[in-house]
A and B are shown apart, each in its own frame.
Chain A
C-alpha cells in the first residue's frame, strides 16, 4: 500500500466530533488492512477504507471530507463484519458522509444528487416513486438519458407506475423532514 501523505496538522476537534457522532474509537485500529481486503469498492476508492481509518486517527479532516471514498461506500457492511477490533467501520464511513454533506463537501455530485432525488420523492409522497426519482436525477445531474435504455425492458410489464402512490400520512412524513431541520438548527 502507498504511504499516505499527512499534510495537515492533526485536527483534534474533528477526531472528537467523529468519535462522538459514531461512538467508535479510531485508536483501536491497528491497520491490519482486513477491511480494505474485503471492501468491494477498494478499486474505486481514492483512499482505501483502512487508509480512511488512518486519516481519521491522524485528524486529516480536509483529505477525508474531500475524498470520493466516503460517497462511494455502499454500506455493504463487509468491513464491519470482518474487523478483528470490532470497529463499526461502515458506521464511521456513514458519519463521515453525513458530516461532508452537512459541511458542503461533495466529491461525488451524482451520488448525492441521486440521494436527494430519492429523499425529495419520499418527502412529497410518503413513499418513493421510482420514475420520479430517475427523472429528478436526470434533470438535476444533467445526465438526461441515464438508464433510458432500461425503459423498453420494463414498459408494458406493469412495473412502472406513471403516478406516485400518495399515502394519507404523507404530511406526517413531510413533518419528520421539517422537525428534523428544526432540531438540526437548534443543535448548532
Chain B
C-alpha cells in the first residue's frame, strides 16, 4: 500500500481526557499505512466559548492553526474532534467568502491565513481517501456478539453547506465503516440527536436528560454498544452514565466506544493499546467474544456448502 501522509491536529481534549481517542486514531491509521504529522506549537481551536465572544475572534484563534498548516506547505489538515473541525471549516469558509472578514481576522493574527487549507475529519479520509477495501483487509478478529448503535452527534456533518460530508439527517459513513470491519450495525433513529454538548458542567441535569434519551434509544434498537466520533458525546454518554442513572433513576450499563477503537479491536489490538481500559463503563464481557476472523469465514463457508446442494437441486428441477 502506498504511504499516505497527513497533517493531524489532535486538539486539547485528545491530549487529556480523551487521550484514548487519540491513541486509537494513531494505531488504526498507522495500520493502514498512514503517516501523521502533528503541526508544531498548535493552539486551542476556540470551540464554543470563542464563538460566544465574537466571530472575528473565534475565526482568528482557529485560523492561527490553519496558518501554521499552510506554512508547512500542506493543503489539508485532519482532526478527529468535531468541534475543532467545525471551528476550522467555519473560519476558513467565511474568510474565503468575505474579503472584509478575512482582513479583520488577519489583522489580529501574527501570521496571516491565506485560505489554502481544507479541514477534514479522520472519518472522512477513511471513507474517501482510503476506502472500504483496504479498511476491511486489515481485519484479523471477528466480533460475533457485538451490535453497535452508530451515534454521530450533531455537528460532524451539519450544517451540510459548511461540513461538506455525508448526509446531515441520516449519515452513513460510520455505519459503512463498521460493516466493512465486520461489525453488526443497528438501525438507530437518534444518530444526530444532541447529547447535551458542552453544558455538562454548567447544566448537568439537562445534559443527563438529553443523553439518557440517546442511550435508551440505542438499547431499544437492540444495540449492546454505542460507537461515537466525538469525545464530548463520549464524555456525556460514558463518563456521565452514572450521573444519568442518578438523575433519571435508570440503570444503564452500556459501553461507549470510539469508532477507531472498534476498528482497532478488529485489527487485533488489545483493549489497553486502544485505551479502552480508560473508560468508565467497561466492555470486558463484549471484548471476550472476539475470535479469529477465520472462524467466521469457515462458518460462512460451511453454511454456504449446506445450502448449495439444495440450490443445485432446485436448479435441476427447474430445467
Contacts and interface: CB of A to CB of B under 8 A. Distances in A.
B41 A167 contact: yes
B107 A183 contact: yes
Interface residues of A, number: 63
Contacts of A179: 107-108
A183 B106 CA distance: 12
Contacts of A61: none
A76 interface: yes
A145 B202 CA distance: 12
A8 to B, nearest CB: 25
A contacts with B: majority SS? helix
Interface stretch (A9-17, A24-32, A52-60, A148-156): A148-156
Contacts of B42: 127, 167
Contacts of A127: 12, 15, 42-44
Contacts of A44: 203, 206
A176 B201 contact: no
Contacts of B264: none
A114 B203 CA distance: 10
Contact of A40 (B44, B48, B193, B280): B193
A173 B277 CA distance: 35
Contact of A74 (B13, B110, B198, B201): B198
A101 B53 contact: yes
Contact of A161 (B16, B56, B155, B280): B16
A81 B48 CA distance: 18
Nearest to A79: B159
B283 to A, nearest CB: 15
Contacts of B194: 40-41, 74, 76, 78
B43 A154 contact: no
Interface string A112-155: 11111011001000111110001001000100001101100110
Given A80-B158, A183-B108, A147 B56 contact: no
A185 B160 CA distance: 35
B44 A153 contact: no
Contacts of A153: 239, 242, 280
B202 A137 contact: yes
B240 interface: yes
B243 interface: yes
B64 A176 contact: yes
A110 B51 CA distance: 17
B124 to A, nearest CB: 17
B168 A180 contact: no
Nearest to A149: B243
A159 B201 contact: no
B202 A119 contact: no
Interface of B: 12-13, 15-20, 41-44, 46-57, 60-61, 64, 104, 107-110, 154-155, 158-160, 168-169, 192-194, 196-204, 206, 210, 239-240, 242-243, 277-278, 280
Q: Please list the 10 inter-chain residue pairs (A to B) with the smallest Cβ-Cβ separation, ordered nearest first.
A: A76-B154, A115-B49, A179-B108, A74-B197, A110-B202, A40-B194, A77-B158, A118-B49, A76-B194, A157-B278
